[in-house]
């Protein structure tokens, strides 16, 4: 009875720590509706279904084709209907989680989670935009509200733990990054104010024809006085007049504080800052203006902006140390648990030995008898085996001889492929193959084509023999253990496939050119035999594996901004006064991806921003607000990720 009293009693229906007794002040833990919602939202296939729905929603957003002037097609109309289905699924998920966990008033509630808050905001905005589009058919543009749905792919981060570590490191770095951002903003404000005082209204003069009144082609600022660019150097009839809108349709100037900050930020990013410098020199002359720009670049770009990298590096190191400490702690707990289990097992063994000492003696006697019996049986078995050996057939002897010779040959081949002579032979073959590949050029004679084809057959044959020799000497399992051997096998099979496909004319000429690129992979064979280069390649591959999560997060970031660019600028970059279509646009998903990647690299990102501002009316209207998209994209892509 006392043992039963000490035994802990399991209490049924005890609430979990992260679940309140009531949700929405209505549903208790025993409520069948709430129990059903909890079972569904904590069901693993339901989580996979939501992630699959998010992925399908991203595909639908990517397939959407924006058209100018709010035009559409049948595909876009079908996608809008499918979007309502996605919205319904996410709304049902949101409602079930609110019923299961509660809304906000207690720990563990739905809105206490950041990812749930993001999803709730997107769902509410989607519902509002849908209701407004149904109530007000015309005169209301809900496209800006629907642009928030492109943030939904961020929920994919919650399903990948490695992405959560990277994103948490970035979020924890936000406080020190905010301090650096304030310092950068302070530098930009100071230089914007200085530029406003020195260069305000100086970039609106350019050269006009004195008779026809036509503006000079490819206009740039000119000097109204004797300093700066003189218009008469173009034509004696050219005069400088102060009625030009300014460079880049009036976007690049220091006329007000906002545009001055935008111009300074462009210079700090080191993209097009020399153009701004030359504009100022054309307007004011080549005197002291370089001091302003050189100091701004050194202080803003080389010093302050690089502080961001230091902060991020420190935060990543801290997060890595925390993750390592957590891993060590879990390993220590596992070790302690194993030691406790081992001590319990030893105690049990000790008790068993104390209780049954006589059983051991009986077992020992039985073991002695069994040993005698087994020795007798083994002797009889040995005599039988000797008889079988004497009766062994002729072909089994030949097989043994063949195996013996085969082992000797494999041993000799293994010694050969690991020798120094074989090493230098492969190096020379790779070198000669590279020389032959380098002889290819445009308009080469026919005899060179034949020579390259024959040498290709020769090298493919030699490298195939090398692969087969290694497979024979090391065995299939031993050969494919090495990553370099796998790469060699891939190159050889690709080269053989290239010969077969090109000689049978299966591929068009472009496909043949692509297949011939397989030959270039043979050059990388040298990395296997060059020790220092091999170590460098291995380090590079290991570094790629370590930053795989960061690369995946960067790709997700590019996809989100590409989808957002399609929602905001899709079909907007077609201007009536330009005959050539602007290549950097957001008219399709793939082109939008390319444009976003271009902006991340910093190449002509300001030119894309100028077009985006012009697409919404330029600096004379609210179009200047379009620069916010490009500034956030550049900062997040270059300074944070």
In a domain? residue 349: no
What sign does the dihedral 157-158-164-170 (CA atoms) show?
A: positive
Domain carrying residue 152: 22-159
Q: How many domains does the chain have?
A: 4
CA separation for the pair 448, 333 (Å, rounded): 69
CA separation for the pair 165, 376 (Å, rounded): 66
In a domain? residue 203: yes
Task: Identify the pLDDT of residue 222.
Answer: 92
CA separation for the pair 462, 243 (Å, rounded): 74
CA separation for the pair 345, 353 (Å, rounded): 12
Cα-flanking dihedrals φ and ψ of residue 209, to 5°? -75, 130
- Full-model pTM: 0.73
- Residue 534: both structure tokens together: 């091999």
Helix (H, G, I), strand (E, B) or coil at 15: coil
In a domain? residue 398: no
Spell out the SS3 assignment of 73-107: CHHHHHHHHHHHHHHHHHHHHHHHHHHHHCCCCCC
Task: Identify the pLDDT of residue 176.
Answer: 77
In a domain? residue 374: no
Q: Are residues 258 and 310 in the same domain?
A: yes
Is 271 a known ligand-binding residue? yes
Q: Are residues 80 and 139 in the same domain?
A: yes
Q: Are residues 98 and 201 in the same domain?
A: no
Q: Are residues 490 and 587 in the same domain?
A: no
Q: Residues with Cβ < 8 Å from 167, sequence gap 6 or more?
A: 157, 553
CA separation for the pair 126, 132 (Å, rounded): 10
Task: Identify the pLDDT of residue 256.
Answer: 93
Is 138 a known ligand-binding residue? no
Q: Are residues 205 and 306 in the same domain?
A: yes
What sign does the dihedral 506-511-513-517 (CA atoms) show?
A: negative
In a domain? residue 359: no
In a domain? residue 392: no
Could you say which of 277, 295, 326 is where a domain stops? 326
In a domain? residue 15: no
Using N-to-C axis directions, what is the helix angle for 357-390 and 305-355, rounded to 10°? 100
Strand partners of residue 239 = 208
Task: Identify the pLDDT of residue 3.
Answer: 44
Q: Are residues 121 and 215 in the same domain?
A: no
Q: Are residues 507 and 547 in the same domain?
A: no
Using N-to-C axis directions, what is the helix angle for 589-601 and 605-615, rounded to 10°? 130
Q: Are residues 90 and 150 in the same domain?
A: yes
CATH number, domain containing residue 77: 1.20.120.350
Q: Are residues 180 and 276 in the same domain?
A: yes
Pairing relation of β-strands 206-209 and 238-241?
Answer: antiparallel
- Residue 221: both structure tokens together: 């600022």
Strand partners of residue 437 = none
CA separation for the pair 84, 127 (Å, rounded): 9
Task: Identify the pLDDT of residue 223.
Answer: 87
Helix (H, G, I), strand (E, B) or coil at 23: strand
Could you say which of 264, 292, 326 is where a domain stops? 326
Q: Are residues 195 and 273 in the same domain?
A: yes
Task: Identify the pLDDT of residue 323.
Answer: 65
In a domain? residue 289: yes
Low-confidence stretches of the chain (pLDDT < 70) are 1-18, 70, 136-144, 159, 312, 315-316, 319-320, 323-324, 327, 346-347, 349-392, 507-516, 518-519, 529, 545-546, 576-580
- Residue 471: both structure tokens together: 């497979």
CA separation for the pair 167, 181 (Å, rounded): 19
Q: Residues with Cβ < 8 Å from 566, sequence gap 6 or more?
A: 61, 64, 66, 586, 587, 588, 589, 592
Could you say which of 326, 357, 391 is where a domain stops? 326
Is 487 buried (19+), middle (13-18) or exposed (0-12) by CB count in 10 A?
A: middle
Q: Are residues 519 and 546 in the same domain?
A: no
Task: Identify the pLDDT of residue 10.
Answer: 44
CA separation for the pair 219, 229 (Å, rounded): 12
The per-residue DSSP string of 192-249 comes to HHHHHHHHTT-S--EEEETTT-PBPSS-----SSSSS--GGGT-TTEEEES----HHH
Q: Are residues 42 and 130 in the same domain?
A: yes
CA separation for the pair 459, 641 (Å, rounded): 44
């Amino acid at each position: 009875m006392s043992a039963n009293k000490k035994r802990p009693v399991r209490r049924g229906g005890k609430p979990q720590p992260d679940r309140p007794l009531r949700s929405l002040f209505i549903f208790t833990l025993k409520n069948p509706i709430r129990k059903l919602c909890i079972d569904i939202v904590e069901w693993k296939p339901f989580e996979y279904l939501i992630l699959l729905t998010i992925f399908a929603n991203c595909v639908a957003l990517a397939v959407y084709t924006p058209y100018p002037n709010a035009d559409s097609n049948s595909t876009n109309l079908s996608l809008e209907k499918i979007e309502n289905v996605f919205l319904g699924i996410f709304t049902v998920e949101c409602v079930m989680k609110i019923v299961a966990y509660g809304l906000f008033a207690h720990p563990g509630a739905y809105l206490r989670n950041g990812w749930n808050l993001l999803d709730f905001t997107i769902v509410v905005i989607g519902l509002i935009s849908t209701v407004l589009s149904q109530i007000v058919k015309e005169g209301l543009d809900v496209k800006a509200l629907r642009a928030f749905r492109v943030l939904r792919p961020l929920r994919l981060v919650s399903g990948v733990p490695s992405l959560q570590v990277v994103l948490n490191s970035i979020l924890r770095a936000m406080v020190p990054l905010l301090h650096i951002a304030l310092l950068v903003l302070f530098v930009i404000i100071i230089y914007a104010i200085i530029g406003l005082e020195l260069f305000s209204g100086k970039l609106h003069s350019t050269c006009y024809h004195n008779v026809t009144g036509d503006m000079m082609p490819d206009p740039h600022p000119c000097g109204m006085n004797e300093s700066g660019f003189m218009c008469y150097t173009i034509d004696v009839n050219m005069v400088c007049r102060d009625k030009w809108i300014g460079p880049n349709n009036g976007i690049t100037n220091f006329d007000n504080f906002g545009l001055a900050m935008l111009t300074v930020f462009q210079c700090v990013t080191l993209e097009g800052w020399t153009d701004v410098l030359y504009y100022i020199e054309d307007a004011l002359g080549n005197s002291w203006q370089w001091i302003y720009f050189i100091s701004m670049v050194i202080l803003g770009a080389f010093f302050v902006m690089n502080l961001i990298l230091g902060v991020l590096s420190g935060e990543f190191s801290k997060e890595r140390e925390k993750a390592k400490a957590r891993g060590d702690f879990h390993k220590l707990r596992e070790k302690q648990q194993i030691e406790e289990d081992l001590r319990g097992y030893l105690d049990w063994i000790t008790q068993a030995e104390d209780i049954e000492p006589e059983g051991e003696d009986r077992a020992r006697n039985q073991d002695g008898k069994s040993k005698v019996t087994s020795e007798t049986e083994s002797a009889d078995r040995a005599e039988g085996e000797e008889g079988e050996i004497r009766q062994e057939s002729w072909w089994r002897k030949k097989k043994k001889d063949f195996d013996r010779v085969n082992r000797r040959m494999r041993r000799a081949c293994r010694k050969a492929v690991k020798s120094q002579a074989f090493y230098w032979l492969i190096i020379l073959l790779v070198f000669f193959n590279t020389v032959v590949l380098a002889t290819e050029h445009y308009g080469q004679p026919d005899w060179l084509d034949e020579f390259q084809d024959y040498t290709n057959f020769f090298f493919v044959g030699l490298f195939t023999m090398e692969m087969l020799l290694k497979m024979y000497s090391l065995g299939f399992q031993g050969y494919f253990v090495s990553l370099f051997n796998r790469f060699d096998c891939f190159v050889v099979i690709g080269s053989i496939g290239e010969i077969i496909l090109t000689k049978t004319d299966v591929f068009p000429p472009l496909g043949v050119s692509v297949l011939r690129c397989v030959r270039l992979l043979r050059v990388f064979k040298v990395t296997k035999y060059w020790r220092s280069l091999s170590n460098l390649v291995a380090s590079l591959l290991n570094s790629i594996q370590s930053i795989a999560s960061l690369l995946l997060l960067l790709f997700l970031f590019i996809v989100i901004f590409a989808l957002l660019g399609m929602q905001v600028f899709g079909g907007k970059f077609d201007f009536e006064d330009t005959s050539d279509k602007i290549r950097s646009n957001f008219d399709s998903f793939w082109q939008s991806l390319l444009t976003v990647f271009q902006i991340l690299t910093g190449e002509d990102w300001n030119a894309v921003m100028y077009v985006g501002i012009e697409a919404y009316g330029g600096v004379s209207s609210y179009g200047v607000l379009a620069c916010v998209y490009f500034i956030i994209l550049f900062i997040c892509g270059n300074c944070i990720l």
